[in-house]
Chain A
C-alpha cells in the first residue's frame, strides 16, 4: 500500500500552517494508495467533520482539536481517527485496518488516536476526555 505524496504535505499544512481543521483520507483501490479525499477549512466545526464521514465506508481522518485546559491554557492537539463503521463492508474494514500502521508512520506528530466503529465512539466528549 503506497502513500501519495500530497497526503504528507496536507498533514504538514494542518500541523504547521494550521490551514485546515480536518483532513479525510481514502484508500484508492485502483492506485493502491492513500489519497486525500477532503479537507475542511479552519472555521469549520466538529459537526461538519462528522457529517463529511461516510456512513457505510471506512476512512482515515485527522482533526485538529482546540480546547482550554484546567489551568486555563489554550491548547491544540491533533487526533488521528480510524473511522471503521460496523455497517461497512468487511473487505473495506480489513483493507483499512491492515494499511493503518503504514500510513500512520508517515504522519509524524499525531497526539492521540481514536478508533471509531459508530458515531457515538467519536463524540466530542470522547475527544475532550482524551485531550488534556
Chain B
C-alpha cells in the first residue's frame, strides 16, 4: 500500500497584465487559489499539506470559501460555478452555468445564501447573483459593456453589490433583488479590483491608472482616494482590507506592496511599502494579495508567495513557490550531502525541494531556456530544451554556475548521463545518437530507424536505444564509438523510456502500448514481464536504490510499483496520482516514491508493507 506523505503544491497560475484573486479562510488560516484545472487549498502554517480539487472540466479561475468555512465555490473559464464541500469527500453540492464566458470574480454574501459572480459575458450579462442552493437569480445587473473584472458583496446589511470592469466603471447595485443604483467613472483605465471593508462602511476600487478610490459603503458616493504621494508607480492589481477596516494592502506591477492607512475622512496615506525580496525582474511584479488575520500574503507573477507579518512588517517574509506549468522531469540527487529533489517544467523553471521542509528554492540560471528533459548527478545538471542545444550546468549548492551549451545538430529527444562518469552523456535525437564527453561531441552515430528513447549504463560501458517500432538496440561503448551488440524485440509500441537499475544488473523498458518489461543485462533475457496494468502510455520509469522495486508512471494518472522478485500481479497501484498524467518519477529512498505530473505538483508517497 502507498500513502501520500507530502505534497509540494503548484503555485497560482498568473498572467501578465492581469491580477489574480486569491482568498482565504481566517478561521483555519488557509488560502485558496487555482492553477490549471485544479483548485488548491493550503494552510499557511503547514505548507506541506495542500489539498487539491480537480473536478473542473475547464481551467479554474477563482475560488472562495463560504463565510462559515464549510463550502467552497469555484469558477472556471466556461462560466460554470461549482459549489462543493470543503472537507471529506468534497461532495458536489451544486453546479451552475452562470455566465457564457470566463468568470473573473466570485463572492459569497455574508449569510452564505447568495453568490455574485462576474466576468466576461460575451455580450450577454456580465454579472449574475444567484441563490447558492437553487441557482435562482436575485437581481438584474446591467450597466457594464465590457468584461467585469471584480465584484464585491457588502458584508453588513443593507446588502449592496459593487462591480468594476474594463469599461473603467464602478457600478453600485442595491437590493435584494439587486437593481442598478449608480455608476462611478473616476478611473481612467481598467478597474482591477473592488473590495468592501469588513465593517461595511467603505469600499475601495483600484485600477491600472495607479489610483485607488474610496467610496461610502451604503450610498456608493466617492469619499476619498489613496494619496498619490509615495503611491504606486504601476497598475494596482489587487487590494485587501485588514480585519479592523482601518488599513488596506495593495499590490502593483511596480513590484511593491503598500500598506495604507485609511483615515476617517476617507483618504488613504501610505503607511509602509513592502519591497519584494526578489531579484527585481519581470517575475517580481505583484499580482495578488490577501490580508488574513496577521498575515499579509502577496503573490508575484513568477508564482512566488510571500507571507509577511502585519505586526512586524520589517521581518523577512516566509516565501514559498512551486511550479506553474506542468512538470516534465524529476530527479533526486545529493546536494552538499543533502538529498534534494529537482523538478523542472517546460518553461525552464527548475525548483529544488527538500523532503519534510518543502520548497527549497528555485535554481536561478543565467539563461532561461525551456527544458524538455534533464539529467542530474551530484554536482551537475544537464538539460535539453526545444532548440538544438544541450546545456551543462555545474551546481554549487543552490546556485548554478555558468551554463555551457553544446550544439547537437537536431532537437534532442532524450538525454542521459552515465552516473559514475558524469562527463559522458548520451543524447538521442530523431535519427542519431550523439556521445558527449564534457562539452565535446565525440561521436555522432546515424541510426537507420527513428529513435524515441535512450539510456546509458551507470559505468558508461553500454548504451541502449529504443526505436519507434518497439525494438531495443543494445550498443557497447568502445572508447568513442558505439558498436551494436543486439536487438531485442518484445514491445508492441514505440519505446518511451529505458532505465538501468542502480546496480547495473538489469534494465527496464516501457512503451507507448502500456507495457513495461524488465530484462537481465548480461543474458538479455526477459526477467519480469506482463507489466501491463496501465491503461495509457507509460511516460516514466524509476528504480529503487536497492534495485528491488520498479515504478512506472503513465498518462492514465496512475503510478504502479512492482517488485522485481515477485510476479507482476502483486503490485501496488496509486490511482489518480496527478491529474492529467504522471510525467516524472524517482525514488528518494527505499520506501519513498516521488512523482510529478501535469498538474504541476510533486508528491511523495510512502510505501507501507
Chain A residues engaging chain B, CB cutoff 8 angstroms = 47, 50, 86-87, 118-120, 123-124
Contact = CB atoms under 8 A, between A and B. Distances in A.
B532 A119 contact: yes
A123 B570 CA distance: 10
B526 to A, nearest CB: 10
Contacts of A120: 530, 532-533
Interface in B560-590: 567-569
Contacts of B568: 119
A123 B533 CA distance: 9
B492 interface: yes
Interface residues of B, number: 7
Contact of A118 (B532, B567, B569): B532
A47 B568 CA distance: 10
Contacts of A87: 492
A87 B532 CA distance: 13
A47 B570 CA distance: 10
A10 B567 CA distance: 29
B532 A124 contact: no
Given A47-B567, A47-B569, A50-B569, A119 B492 contact: no
Nearest to A47: B567
A123 B569 contact: yes
Given A118-B532, A119-B530, A119-B532, A124 B569 contact: yes
Interface of B: 492, 530, 532-533, 567-569
A109 B530 CA distance: 31
A100 to B, nearest CB: 23
Nearest to A125: B569
A43 B203 CA distance: 79
A14 to B, nearest CB: 23
18 contacts: A47-B567, A47-B569, A50-B567, A50-B569, A86-B492, A87-B492, A118-B530, A118-B532, A119-B530, A119-B532, A119-B568, A119-B569, A120-B530, A120-B532, A120-B533, A123-B533, A123-B569, A124-B569
B167 to A, nearest CB: 58
B510 to A, nearest CB: 14
B177 to A, nearest CB: 53
Contacts of A50: 567, 569
B64 to A, nearest CB: 40
B607 to A, nearest CB: 19
A47 B530 CA distance: 12
A119 B568 CA distance: 10
Contacts of A118: 530, 532
Name the residue among A47, A120, A124 with the largest chain B CB count within 10 angstroms.
Answer: A120
A86 B568 CA distance: 18
A59 B487 CA distance: 30
Contacts of B530: 118-120
Given A120-B530, A120-B532, 5 more contacts: A47-B569, A50-B567, A86-B492, A87-B492, A120-B533
Contacts of A119: 530, 532, 568-569
A119 B517 CA distance: 14
Nearest to A86: B492
Name the residue among B530, B568, B569 with the largest chain A CB count within 10 angstroms.
Answer: B569
A61 B268 CA distance: 83
A123 B532 CA distance: 11
Nearest to B568: A119
A104 B568 CA distance: 30
Q: Would you list the 8 A-B pairs with minimal beta carbon distance, nearest first?
A: A119-B530, A120-B532, A120-B533, A118-B532, A123-B569, A47-B567, A124-B569, A119-B532
A123 B573 CA distance: 14
A87 B601 CA distance: 38
Contacts of A123: 533, 569
A9 B96 CA distance: 63
Contacts of B492: 86-87
A37 B568 CA distance: 25
A124 B568 CA distance: 11
B353 to A, nearest CB: 33
A120 B554 CA distance: 16
Contacts of A124: 569
Nearest to A123: B569
A120 B571 CA distance: 12
Contacts of B569: 47, 50, 119, 123-124
Nearest to B569: A123
A74 to B, nearest CB: 23
A86 B569 CA distance: 19
B582 to A, nearest CB: 18
A119 to B, nearest CB: 4
A124 B571 CA distance: 12
Contacts of B532: 118-120
Contacts of B567: 47, 50
Contacts of A86: 492
